Amino acid sequence: MSSKKKLLGALLTTAILAGSSALASAETLRWARAGDSLTLDPHSQNEGPTHALSQQIYEPLISPDMEAKPIPALATEWMVKEGDPNVWVFKLREGVKFHGGEDFTAEDVVFSFNRAKMESSDMKELLVSIKEVRAVDDYTVEMETEGPNPILPNNLTNLFIMDKGWAEANDVTAPAEFDDGEETYAVRNANGTGAYMLESREPDTKTVLKANPNYWGKGEFPLEVTEIIYTPIQNAATRVAALLSGEVDLIQDVPVQDIDRVANGDGLKVGNAPQNRTIFFGINSGDEDLENDNVEGKNPFADVRVRKAMNMAIDRDAIKQVVMRGQSAPTGVIIPPFVNGWTEELDAYPKADIEAAKALMEEAGYGDGFEVTLHCPNDRYINDEAICQAAVGMMGKIGIKANLVAQTKANHFPLISGKKTDFYLLGWGVPTFDSEYVFNFLVHSTTDDRGSWNGSRFSNEEVDAMIQSLGSEVDLDKRNETIAKIWQVVQDEQIYLPIHNQVLNWGMKSNIDFPVQPEDQPHFKFLKFN
């Protein structure tokens, strides 16, 4: 193509974008973030951006609000059944319809929970204590647990309800196998009860949602946004440029280096808040030999001295200042302060000590170091690839040559859940605000219903038993004692290498009234225009 044609094309593109922005009504919200939802199947992936899109379309029984506090959604009230502490009773909202016009009833709740408990579901760990879900009548559901579970409602805020008939008609009665790349009708189509309906879906390009004209929440929520245009923009500079130029109205992940630029931009502002998410490195300490290293016949990560040396080599303060520009909270544990079980003692982290780390490596028999692959996403967490690049240098100081492979989250996450990586970056939020959630996914031995994200391969029968006891312990003091014991094992064994808790920065037009949600979930039915 000639330079003149390239120039003309660029001018035309600019004109079209500018024209579309000018023509947009105040009710249209152009939303961007670094990565797209992985799937529209509501039970296939337990992942933040995936839930953030699903929350617009589908609804749980209990929903988080913009402060991440639980509020009634498809259930109007819930309580432990009188005379039977093993049963929770949920009263359902009447008169609700799915986007296709189907009536919402208890039958859909029973179907959705049974679907979410299937092996291909990434939500099953949330439901391990549930023995049976049954419909009492059209608007009453009982959930019987394996023992009294006082925090069961905490586990349900991202457990979305599907229409049973729609799922059966479209052959999607089981969640799509994400790790195998399975394509089903539910992966690209949706039929929820939420405030917004799916208009079109182009994965990694654009998703358009329209207001649900029959939404039950009219009068309860502002519902000022009538159209959502969601555009994933992986490149940080391009994402910021789109906000500065007016092509988008809100971006969730303002790069730390551009916060002041956006905050001082004409007609723009930045909202921030601590996030309920910790960023950390996972290390495969469980396998006898590693696939991604140059040590034959054994696993250097199996030696706790190596793991502790790696932890001592990480300079969290340097990552905060240089990589994160001050926008992080260094930590020594893989839970943020929001979560039950967190303590200041757990949160304390070691200062970088290269000499002491080298001594541990020598003691473990790896004084000459070794080589290993470090897998990292480049479109999921704030400065994720840059964090990994910094860690490569830090590991190098103690003789560990980490060969960095950075790729999109769609390619990165299956390596962890499929146990195909030995050293990786991961971030974990805790929507239940309780340590049990972390233990079920990241610490429990990998079984049919727990440990699906335990890429560390850590396995301890005694710890597993303690984790399982949390789902039925009604004595909260005793329960918290067990939580503390489990964290002590996690820390002593150095199962993971914590880095920091994220700080959220949302950039938006100044006429938008929208608080930053700690779960990084923008529920647009709450958004107002000034």
Q: State residue 26's pLDDT score.
A: 55
Q: State residue 11's pLDDT score.
A: 35
Q: What is the C-alpha separation between 206 and 33, in angstroms, rounded?
A: 11
Q: State residue 16's pLDDT score.
A: 33
Which residues lie across from 334 on neighbouring strands? Answer: none
Sequential DSSP letters for 59-94? -BSEEE-TTS-EEESSEEEEEEPTT-TTEEEEEEPT
Alpha-carbon torsion angle 444, 450, 455, 459, nearest 10:
30
Q: Give the residue-averaged pLDDT of 422-439.
A: 97
Residue 495 has pLDDT above 60, yes or no: yes
- pLDDT, averaged across the chain: 94
Q: Say which residue the tokens 């001295």 belong to.
A: 305
Q: Give the residue-averaged pLDDT of 477-497.
A: 98
> What share of the chain in percent tops pLDDT 90?
94
Global pTM reads: 0.89
Residue-wise pLDDT tens digits, 269-307 = 999 999 999 999 999 999 999 999 999 999 999 999 999
User: What angle, rounded to 10 degrees, do the helices at 354-363 and 304-313 form?
Assistant: 160
Residue-wise pLDDT tens digits, 173-186 = 999 999 889 999 99
Q: What is the C-alpha separation between 527 and 530, in angstroms, rounded?
A: 10
Element (H, E) at 413: helix 409-417
Q: State residue 272's pLDDT score.
A: 94
Say whether 81 sits in a helix, a strand or coil: coil
Extract the tokens encoding 27.
């009710």
Extract the tokens encoding 441.
């996914």
Q: Give the residue-averaged pLDDT of 448-469.
A: 96
Q: State residue 179's pLDDT score.
A: 87
275-285 CB burial, b ≥16 within 10 A, e <16: bbbbbbbbbbb
Give all domains of the chain, ordered by start, each with its CATH number: 39-185 (3.90.76.10), 274-504 (3.10.105.10)
Q: Give the residue-averaged pLDDT of 234-250.
A: 97
Residue-wise pLDDT tens digits, 7-43 = 333 333 333 344 334 334 459 999 999 999 999 999 9
Q: What is the C-alpha separation between 507 and 509, in angstroms, rounded?
A: 7
Alpha-carbon torsion angle 344, 128, 470, 302, nearest 10:
-60
Which residues lie across from 400 on neighbouring strands? Answer: 370
Cα 254 to Cα 178, 205, 325: the distances in Å are: 29, 19, 12
Q: State residue 22's pLDDT score.
A: 36
Q: Say which residue the tokens 């986007």 belong to.
A: 99
Residue-wise pLDDT tens digits, 91-133 = 999 999 999 999 999 999 999 999 999 999 999 999 999 999 9
> Mapped to the 3 state alphabet, what secondary structure does 121-179 carry?
CCCHHHHCCEEEEEEEECCEEEEEECCCCCCHHHHHCCCECCCHHHHHHCCCCCCCCHH
